[in-house]
A and B are shown apart, each in its own frame.
Chain A
């Protein structure tokens, strides 16, 4: 497939501070890519370099195979939707959407046709004569998207477009952006804090941390096979539980790991004796057992309930197992647990993730 955007060894420094270290990335045409990562990880910086709003210290950026590293933002064939919408307050909705077309000297009828088309797609027909101040947050965001659509850009860039909206509106706009991507089939790069947005919208997710790409992959791939401890903890909510462990035996097919007060056999081959390994278990893989005998070969840990959150469809309990962080388990609505109770937690080794001392994920099996 054709590549819409390519980053080759892109670096960015502000003076001595490196904010993007050597990022390489190819985005296919029509693909929806989400950048996620904690605050300050460089998501916006990366996006703004693609937009041309931020200079590139090193490396190249290609759009549609053309080197645009030094091109003006308006010459890159991109459109951008900002978190703050960035509507021009002194123009009405129509003029906001038409501004780019007017600057590039399209004919009046052409402008009108394209603005009306965008307004139809975004259901803005009624609002064209309003000024931005008279719109609700969701409507403003739609105008901002409309402004992007009329340009027929090769790449849409979104920087946290929904984070100023309330929860209900955010869900609605998320669906609309999904619909828009399906309808236009355009390449989109979408920066977000919100994993739900990333998981539901994106074809592939780029996880950034510490100025570097941690992993690129399909949403479920990231969830099921995180490449390192950071991705494992960042993707998924509530967070993955981690347990420190040590290798006490290892051969060509399996190893035995010693936890605080349990042992477990993992399908890890040829580990060094005494090596520290971190065990990661998602909350849905932690089971509250009625009895020790239910463990079925898994590990059993005793914990004391420190909190229970019942959300209706899912319920979580938090257990103190003698580590600094409490252990989270997803429990059934019928499970009767209260703060102060003790319970037995079962962990199935087959649903565990293993990370070495550097936080890299270890391959399970052979």
Chain B
């Protein structure tokens, strides 16, 4: 009884403000996502005239899907494949480069280590979009623009991954385990593959996750490096699709391309879904990993 009153009196103004505020933020972050999910089932007509959360129907959803998949020989699918190639390539390369680099930087001392660390930090803090045009100019020089290889190489450079691996090896890798393995007869290479790499599994997954996220959503660099629409990644393809069909442009009426609002929405979901799924599946682990990475920062 006294507990109850105590609870009640505590829920007075302060608590109320907190809950109201948080409710506002839930709406701010949640409603757009919810709307996006529902909107893919609705028709152009319904989107424009009915209430924002009206449910559509399965048949409309399928019609929208048909429109997308039949457009231009399902070009969207080829962009999905391109995105997969870019992302897998970029993630693979960034792992191959970042894990051994972070390991060596974290565990060994060698001339040039400080310089490499500082350059890595600078590259990590500098937003990647600042580097886009310089990288384009360079690629133009060596003729690697407009190729799978060019974009994969450029996204394989992932200083944040090196930083994460470096922090992990420098702080969480017990030195005695490495020494013990050395006494057990591991060579420098063996030490990495037998001990350092298996122990770093969580950090490898974390780097892969962040690298995938960065690559899958890479827009600016892909836009600048790729001019052939057969090489487009999904984000670049999506915007070119929307832009050429004028789906969002109410002033551009009367074209015959069947790409309208519902199709644009479904294509956006296309881009978002893989990342969202991975996010949800691994969110606990990613959150703790984000923290681990941020702790030092």
Residues of A in contact with B (beta carbons under 8 Å apart): 51-53, 72-74, 78-80, 82-90, 99-100, 103-104, 147, 151
Residue interface mask B171-207, A partner, CB < 8 A = 1: 0001011011111111000100011001100000000
Interface string of B239-275 (1 = CB under 8 A from A): 0000000000000000000000000000000000000
Q: Is the CB of B174 within 8 A of A53?
A: no
Q: List 9 A-B contacts (CB under 8 A).
A: A84-B174, A88-B180, A89-B177, A89-B199, A90-B199, A100-B185, A103-B185, A103-B186, A104-B185
Docked CA distance A83–B174 (Å): 12
How far is A83 from B177 in the complex, measured between Cα atoms in Å? 11
Bound: A80/B177 CA distance, A: 11
Instruction: Say whether B180 contacts A74, CB under 8 Å.
Output: no
Determine whether the beta carbon of A78 is less than 8 Å from that of B183.
yes
Question: Which residues of the other chain, A, contact B179 by a CB distance below 8 angstroms?
Answer: 51, 53, 73, 80, 82, 86
| B185 and A84 contact, CB distance less than 8 A | no
- By a CB distance below 8 angstroms, the chain A residues around B180 are 80, 82, 86, 88, 147
The interface residues of chain A, by DSSP majority, are classed as loop
Closest CB in chain A relative to B179 CB, distance in Å: 5
* Residue with the greatest number of chain A CB neighbours at <10 A, chosen from B174, B179, B185, B190: B185
Q: Whole-angstrom distance between the alpha carbons of A344 and B186 in the complex?
A: 65
Q: Which residue of A lies closest to B177 (CB)?
A: A86
A86 adjacent to B174 (CB under 8 Å): yes
Using a Cβ–Cβ cut-off of 8 Å, how many residues does chain B contribute to the interface with A?
16
Pair B177/A88 contact, Cβ less than 8 Å = yes
Interface code B119-138, partner A: CB below 8 Å = 1, 0 otherwise?
Answer: 00000000000000000000
Find chain B residues with CB under 8 A from A104 CB.
185
Q: Is the CB of B183 within 8 A of A80?
A: yes
Q: Which residue of chain B is the closest to A91 with respect to CB atoms?
A: B198
A103 with B190: CB separation less than 8 A: yes
Q: Let me know if B181 and A88 touch, CB within 8 A.
A: yes
A73 touches B199 (CB 8 A): no
Shortest Cβ distance from residue A195 to the other chain B in the assembled complex, whole angstroms: 24
Select which of B176, B186, B194 is within 8 A of A86 by beta carbon.
B176
What are the residues of chain A within 8 A of B186 when measuring CB–CB? Answer: 74, 103
Q: Given the complex, which residues of A lie within 8 Å of B176, measured CB to CB? A: 82-86
Cβ–Cβ contact A53 & B182, under 8 A: yes
Contact A100 B199 (CB under 8 A): no
Contacts of A90 in B (CB 8 A): 198-199
B75-112 vs A, CB cutoff 8 Å, 1 = contact: the mask equals 00000000000000000000000000000000000000
Centre residue among B174, B181, B183 by max chain A CB count within 10 A: B183
State the Cβ distance, B99 to closest chain A Cβ, in Å: 15
Q: Which residues of B contact A82 (CB under 8 A)?
A: 176, 179-180
Closest beta carbon of chain B to A158's beta carbon, Å: 13
Contact status A73-B182, CB under 8 Å: yes
Within 8 A of A (CB), among B191-249: 194-195, 198-199
Give Cα A89 to B177, complex, Å: 9
Q: Which residue of B lies closest to A74 (CB)?
A: B185
- Docked pose: A344 CA to B27 CA in angstroms: 84
Shortest Cβ distance from B197 into chain A, in angstroms?
10
Give the chain A neighbours of B195 by CB distance below 8 A. 88
A144: shortest Cβ distance to chain B, in Å? Answer: 8
CB-CB contacts of B142-163 with A at 8 A, as 1s and 0s?
0000000000000000000000
Contact B199 A99 (CB under 8 A): no
Chain B residues in 8 Å Cβ range of A100: 183-185
Residues of B within 8 A of A99 (CB): 181, 184, 194
Contact indicator A103/B174 (Cβ below 8 Å) = no
CA distance A79 to B181 in the complex (A): 11
Return B95 CB to nearest CB of chain A, in Å.
18
B184 to chain A: closest residue by CB: A100
B-chain residues with CB within 8 Å of residue A52 when the two chains form the complex: 183
Please, which residue of chain A has its CB at the minimum distance from the CB of B201?
A90
How far does the alpha carbon of A248 sit from the alpha carbon of B184 in the complex, in Å?
62
Complex Cα gap A104–B183 (Å): 12
C-alpha gap A73/B183 in the complex (Å): 5
Chain A residue nearest in CB terms to B195: A88
A256 to chain B, nearest CB (A): 56
Report chain A residues within 8 Å CB of B184: 74, 99-100, 103, 147, 151
| Contact present for B183 and A51 (CB under 8 Å) | yes
Q: Once bound together, how far apart are the Cα atoms of A52 and B185, in whole Å? A: 12
Chain B residues, CB < 8 A from A79: 183
Q: Which residue of B lies closest to A80 (CB)?
A: B183
Nearest CB of B to A361, in Å: 38
Q: Which of B174, B181, B184, B186 has the most CB of A within 10 A?
A: B184
Which chain B residues border A74 with CB–CB below 8 Å? 182-186
Q: How far is the CB of B106 from chain A (nearest CB, A)?
A: 17
- The interface residues of chain B lying within 8 Å CB-to-CB of A53 are 179, 182-183
Top-9 shortest CB links A-B: A74-B185, A86-B176, A100-B184, A86-B180, A82-B176, A103-B185, A73-B183, A90-B198, A86-B177
- Point out the residues of chain A lying under 8 angstroms from B177, CB to CB: 86-89
Give the distance to chain B from A151, nearest Cβ to Cβ, in Å: 8
State the CA gap A52–B179 with chains docked (Å): 10
- Nearest A-chain residue to B190, judged by Cβ: A103
- Report A15 CB to chain B, min CB distance, Å: 12
Q: How far is the CA of A51 from the CA of B181 in the complex (A)?
A: 12
Contacts of A87 in B (CB 8 A): 177
Q: What 8 new A-B contacts, CB under 8 Å, besides A85-B176, A90-B198?
A: A72-B182, A84-B176, A88-B181, A90-B199, A99-B181, A99-B194, A103-B185, A104-B185
